[in-house]
Amino acid sequence: MRTVHTVEEIRAAEDALMATLPPGALMQRAVAGLVSTCARILGGPYGARVVVLAGGGNNGGDALWAGARLAGRGASVDAVLLRPDRAHPEGLAAFRDAGGRVTAGDDVRAGAALARADLVLDGILGIGGRGGLSDDAAELAARARADAGLIIAVDLPSGVDPDTGEAPGAHVVADVTVTFGTGKTALVVDPAAAAAGAVHAVDIGLAPYLPGPRTTVLEDADVAALLPEPGRESDKYSRGVVGVLAGSGQYPGAALLAVGGALRGGAGMVRYAGPDAVAATVRSRWPETIAGPSVAEVGRVQAWTVGSGLGDGRGADVAAAVGAGLPVLVDADGLRSLPDRFAGPALLTPHAGELARLLGVERAEIEARRLHHARAAAGRWNATVLLKGTTTLVVAPDGRVRVNSTGTSALAAAGTGDVLAGLAGSLLAAGLEPLDAGSVAAYVHGLAGQRAAAAGGYPSAGDVLQQLPAVLGSLRQADTAQG
Ligand SMILES: NC(=O)C1=CN([C@@H]2O[C@H](COP(=O)(O)OP(=O)(O)OC[C@H]3O[C@@H](n4cnc5c(N)ncnc54)[C@H](OP(=O)(O)O)[C@@H]3O)[C@@H](O)[C@H]2O)[C@@H](O)CC1
Ligand SMILES: Nc1ncnc2c1ncn2[C@@H]1O[C@H](COP(=O)(O)OP(=O)(O)O)[C@@H](O)[C@H]1O
Ligand SMILES: [K+]
């Protein structure tokens, strides 16, 4: 599991750790990790042309120290100081001692150095940054992106907001970010995360001083441990019966995909509530499905998945499923019929457009502040909110956040959301809490998208669905091998 902490938590942990170390030792740990990543990426620093962009704080200090070390190993290094009056004194002295050249940001030599750089180290702002670069820094960042070979951001790409994942103004767009101690929200939540590139973490010994993380990124082993495992005594009821209220005459495919997602996700049984014609289509593909005309008449279930492709005019059925006192997942058209607040476990699965409609804001505003708005909806409806997109977020009303790392644009195909709704519904029915059900489903769904894409061409939702057993099988196998 990868952890994410707030700037306040990181600063408190750094203070506690630094109190046990000689002055400057913590920064040297960070610098050692940064230099070894740079050296590895450069294939050896000897002869490389490096430019350090250094702001006036400790982030600039890291970059200047790293520049000094790289110069000591034969690199040709220039430092561009954005705040010459506040440059990190020890870092700057070490840099000069190692033979590095120093220029001011407005010097023409800065542009020339960037134009021939193999590597630019972005040390303009770190966790002290408030988001948005000043005009001179923005110009250097743009030149670096246009002209230089590779940009490595120190701790995080300068100009993004560390704690929100928002990018409110100009910012560095890095190829790689070398981050220290723990993850930051800006490294996992878009749009900021898109500017971080590949993230390498450097252990500086902070972990014992950090609190339990509110935000995490699940990995294979975490997901495998959370997946329900049918035991010898299991029957179809204990594995979980999922009620599916999805699809319509207009969108019968949504019913097929949601039922398929639930069955392939491990449900012991699926009960489908809907019109006879759609039910017949569902049963021709999934003959094991039990069907009934309405939520009230379909029989007992352990959780409901409602809304995918449902169309208009089914509000009473949605209300019946939501009011059944069971865990419920609400997707797509079901989101038009939400109660004032949920009293029991609930998982809402909007994409940005649906969340925009729910909250009465523009879609662009949701995309710019994804975590903020997912949190707002989770609080407003007392429900876990899974906000779909390039990086899917799952936010519980108590403030815990899971960020999905397996997303792929291969999932950008009609109907993949219906598969996700069925899959997550099966996990709710198996007894997972909404945060676990949503984050495990998003993870597995992303891996299925990757596998489907690897098989070639442009995968359809059906192709993604078809990969679920293989994904679940390999996660379980890895878990068994580890355990
Ligand atoms: N502590 C440790 O032991 C370790 C720390 N480490 C490193 O230190 C980094 C944090 O360093 P930091 O706290 O000095 O802040 P940093 O990000 O360099 O910003 C400097 C100043 O810039 C300013 N400023 C803010 N926003 C701005 C904007 N938009 N545009 C222009 N200026 C802006 C603001 O000053 P102000 O303007 O408020 O006076 C702010 O204080 C951390 O990310 C990691 O790299 C590692 O070495 C591990 C050990
Ligand atoms: N560019 C992308 N990168 C990663 N995942 C994506 C991307 N575009 C879409 N997805 C995923 O694809 C699924 C689409 O779901 P949704 O928007 O509900 O579509 P539909 O209603 O057609 O099924 C979601 O899981 C979403 O996170
Ligand atoms: K930086």
What's the gap in Å between 123 CA and the centre of ligand 1? 9
Q: What is the DSSP string of 158-182?
A: TTS-TTT----S-----SEEEEESS
Domain 2-215 identical in fold to domain 220-482 = no
| Assigned fold of 2-215 | Rossmann fold (3.40.50)
Ligand nearest to the CA of 247: 2
Q: Give pLDDT, residue 2.
A: 96
Q: Give pLDDT, residue 156.
A: 98
Q: Give pLDDT, residue 105.
A: 76
CB contact at 8 A, 66 and 50: no
Give mean pLDDT in consecutive 10-residue pieces for the chain, a chain of 483 residues: 97 98 97 97 95 98 98 97 96 98 86 94 97 94 93 98 97 98 98 97 97 98 93 77 97 97 96 96 97 95 97 93 96 96 97 98 98 98 97 97 96 96 97 98 98 93 97 89 69
Pocket test for ligand 2, best of 416, 445, 468 (most atoms within 8 A of CB): 416
CB contact at 8 A, 369 and 131: no
Ligand 2 pocket residue status of 436, Cβ below 6 Å: no
CB contact at 8 A, 270 and 241: yes
What's the gap in Å between 437 CA and the centre of ligand 3? 35
For residue 303, give the 3-state DSSP assignment: strand
Which option is the CATH number for 220-482: 2.40.50.100, 3.30.1600.10, 3.40.1190.20, 3.40.50.10860? 3.40.1190.20
CB contact at 8 A, 80 and 53: yes
What's the gap in Å between 57 CA and the centre of ligand 1? 4
Ligand 2 closest atom vs CA 442: 25
> Considering only CA atoms, which residue is closest to atom 22 of ligand 2?
414
What's the gap in Å between 147 CA and the centre of ligand 1? 26
Q: Give pLDDT, residue 457.
A: 85
What's the gap in Å between 423 CA and the centre of ligand 2? 14
Ligand 2 pocket residue status of 412, Cβ below 6 Å: yes
Nearest-5° Cα angle at 41, 36 to 46:
75
Ligand 1 closest atom vs CA 127: 43
CB contact at 8 A, 350 and 358: yes
Q: Give pLDDT, residue 483.
A: 64
CB contact at 8 A, 306 and 334: yes
What's the gap in Å between 214 CA and the centre of ligand 1? 23
Task: Identify each DSSP E strand in 176-247 by its residue range.
Answer: 176-180, 198-202, 215-217, 241-245
Report which of 180, 184, 246 is spatially closest to residue 214, judged by C-alpha positions.
184
Q: How many CB atoms lie within 10 A of CB 376?
A: 17
The neighbouring-strand residues paired with 52 are 79, 121
Stated pTM of the model:
0.96
Q: Which residues are annotated as a binding site for K(+)?
A: 59, 122, 158
Q: Which residues surround ligand 3, an ion (CB under 5 A)?
A: 122, 153-154, 158
Ligand 2 closest atom vs CA 389: 27
Q: Give pLDDT, residue 157.
A: 98
CB contact at 8 A, 275 and 249: yes
**In the numeric block, which tokens belong to residue 208?**
């014992």
Ligand 2 closest atom vs CA 309: 21
ipTM computed for the complex:
0.94
> Residues 6 or more apart from 398 whose CB is under 8 A from it?
none
Q: Which residues are annotated as a binding site?
A: 58-62, 122, 126-132, 155, 158, 254, 309, 351, 388-392, 417-418
Pocket test for ligand 2, best of 411, 423, 443, 467 (most atoms within 8 A of CB): 411
The residue extents of the domains of the chain are 2-215, 220-482
What's the gap in Å between 61 CA and the centre of ligand 1? 9
Q: Which residues are annotated as a binding site for AMP?
A: 388-392, 417
What's the gap in Å between 459 CA and the centre of ligand 3? 37
Ligand 2 pocket residue status of 253, Cβ below 6 Å: no
The residues lining ligand 1, judged by C-beta closer than 6 Å to any ligand atom, are: 14, 18, 26-27, 30, 55-60, 62, 125-130, 132, 134, 154-155, 180
